[in-house]
Amino acid sequence: MEKIKQPTDATYAHAIPVGPLGIVAMPGCEEMAKRVDGYISMWRNDRINDIDGYHKDSYLVDVSLPRFGSGEGKGVLNQSVRGDDLYILVDVTNYSLTYNMYGIKSPMSPDDHYANVKRIIAAAGGREKRITVIMPFLYESRQHKRMTRESLDCAMALQELVGMGVSNILTFDAHDPRVQNAIPCAGFENVATTYQFVKALLRAVDDLTLDADHMMIISPDEGAINRAIYFANNLGLDVGMFYKRRDYSKVVDGKNPIVAHEFLGSSVDGKDVIVVDDMIASGESVIDVAKQLKARNARRVMVCATFGLFTKGMGVFDQAVKDGLIDRIFTTNSIYQNPETLARPYYTSVDLSKYIALLIDRMNHDASIEPLLQYHKKIGGKVKEYQEQQAFRKKQEIEGQLYFEDKQSELVVHQEG
């Protein structure tokens, strides 16, 4: 496992944690939780701290969530959590898990995962010191506002969790972070993943020219514009935006159908473009955006989305890549990734496990996480390193070409002699 440089300030050496650390991996999050736990255990074993229970081989809490034959469930803590600072890690999108109900195998829905979180909180019974729910994909985040006679599911869920004693809710690239207004007196952290995407992009693609003349950041709709601006500002690039023209006279699958994507921005002619969004669902919108960018003569189209749901499978993306519309897709491992997705040559998984570990480590010490949210210098460092590597490779290519030409000249002279 990769080892990172330890902080040099007094945050960890002298600060007293809120309570003994406990990490609860909800079903489907076991692999991510093991990686997070491994990082924290490794870092803490290298620190000097005499607090009892600070140094452990593992901070994972043993829990189980059995089901009755009727499909009803319950949460069970198999060890004491009295006085612990608990972090519950949950992936509400993991559809790969199933349970038996009346002899029928049923896939777990977001509602099932959310109910399991409440079961574990209830099982703790208030004996814990503090509870933080880490929910990378915020439950019901796309139902964050009321347009007509409809439910406000995300706001209701946040209020319910806080009412059960949850102190903090941590999520990544929320569809609309303003939903936190539903719990104004509770902790809500919406964490951006820009730095992790920049690292993955620079590792995966070695021939990018990182300037406004050769690259551009694209927001696929008006809802993602702030995310795109933040991404672009950190790389010193321009931003373009599509807005969705909808037919408000119709409702299809609970929403007004998109008639067209209209583009606002400077020319993308000959540029590499990066489409930045919070999620890829069916893929219809992002593929349509890619099609329009290619029609405007974009050189390459790469997509960076925090959550790859791929609700209609990878076939549509295989075709888009085959047709030359999309070159690469980047999504994080913060939610379930189908093995078929991971096997695609055009797909890159962006690892968030170390970042989540850093967040938990600081929060357990009741330290500000702001240092982890300030990306600009780190991104600048990565860009500088990338450009230096490009310059070095170019120098080697030139020297190699000159050497080859010299050898060719020597051969010609020898033959003529």
CATH assignment at residue 145: 3.40.50.2020
In what helix (H) or strand (E) does residue 231 lie, and over which residues does it extend?
Answer: helix 225-235
Tell me: do 170 and 200 sit in the same domain.
Answer: no
Helices (H), 21-60: 30-45
Which residues pair with residue 349 across a beta bridge?
331
| Whole-angstrom distance, CA of residue 117 vs CA of residue 126 | 14
Q: Is a pLDDT exceeding 80 seen at residue 331?
A: yes
- Answer yes or no: do 207 and 148 share one domain: no
Give the residue, 29 or 45, on which the prediction is more confident.
Answer: 29
Cβ atoms within 10 Å, residue 198: 23
Residue 352, beta-bridge partner list: none
For residue range 157-188, what is the model confidence (pLDDT) as tens digits?
A: 999 999 999 999 999 999 999 999 999 999 99
The answer to whether residue 124 sits within a structural domain is yes
Residues 320, 302: contact at Cβ < 8 Å?
no
Q: Domain limits at 180? A: 10-191
Q: Is residue 69 part of a domain?
A: yes
Domain match, 186 and 207 both? no
Let me know if residue 299 belongs to a domain.
yes
50 and 120 in a single domain? The answer is yes
Q: How many CB atoms neighbour CB 394 within 10 A?
A: 10
Burial class (CB in 10 A: 0-12, 13-18, 19+), 361: buried
For the chain, how many structural domains are there in total? 2
Backbone angles phi, psi at 279, to 5 degrees: -155, 155
Domain match, 187 and 214 both: no
Q: DSSP code of 94?
A: -
pLDDT of residue 3: 47
Q: What is the reported pLDDT for 53?
A: 80
Residue 345 placed within a domain = yes
Please check the confidence at residue 23 and state whether its pLDDT lies above 50: yes
Question: In Å, what is the CA distance from 153 to each residue of 114, 120, 225, 252?
Answer: 12, 20, 24, 20
Q: Is the pLDDT of residue 414 over 80?
A: no
Same domain, 168 and 244: no
User: Residue range 292-300: average pLDDT?
Assistant: 96
In a domain, 400, yes or no: no
Q: Are residues 272 and 320 in the same domain?
A: yes
pLDDT of residue 410: 59
For 31-80, how does the pLDDT look when each residue is reduced to its tens digit (9 = 90+)?
999 999 999 999 998 887 777 788 899 999 999 999 999 999 999 999 99
Quick one: 203 and 163 in the same domain?
no
User: Is 339:319 a contact under the CB 8 Å cutoff?
Assistant: no
| pLDDT exceeds 70 at position 254 | no
- One domain, residues 182 and 198: no
Report the pLDDT value the prediction gives residue 395, as an integer from 0 to 100. 81
| Residue 26, in any domain of the structure | yes
Domain boundary among 151, 170, 191: 191
Extract the runs of DSSP E, i.e. beta strands, from 78-176: 85-89, 98-101, 104-107, 130-134, 168-172
The end-to-end CA distance of the chain, in Å, is 60
Whether residues 146 and 214 share a domain: the answer is: no
Does residue 115 sit in the same domain as residue 209? Answer: no
* pLDDT attached to residue 115: 97
Is 80 a domain residue?
yes
Hey, how many other C-beta atoms are within 10 angstroms of the C-beta on 152? 16
Alpha-carbon distance 106 to 10, whole Å?
49
As a dihedral over the C-alpha atoms of residue 385, residue 335, residue 236, residue 180, rounded to 10 degrees, the angle is -130
Strands 238-246 and 258-264, bridge-based pairing: antiparallel
Among 191, 220, 237, give the residue marking a domain's end: 191
* Same domain, residue pair 18 and 167: yes
Task: Give every strand in the sheet of 347-350, ordered side by side.
Answer: 258-264, 238-246, 215-219, 272-280, 300-308, 328-332, 347-350
User: Tens digit of pLDDT for each residue in 116-152?
Assistant: 999 999 999 999 999 999 999 999 999 988 888 889 9
* 3-state class (DSSP) for residue 189: strand
Please identify, among 191, 219, 245, the residue that sits at the C-terminal boundary of a domain. 191
Q: Is 165 helix (H, G, I), strand (E, B) or coil?
A: coil
410 occurs within a structural domain: no
With a cut of 80, say whether residue 397 has pLDDT above it: no
Residue bearing the bigger pLDDT, 22 or 246 = 22
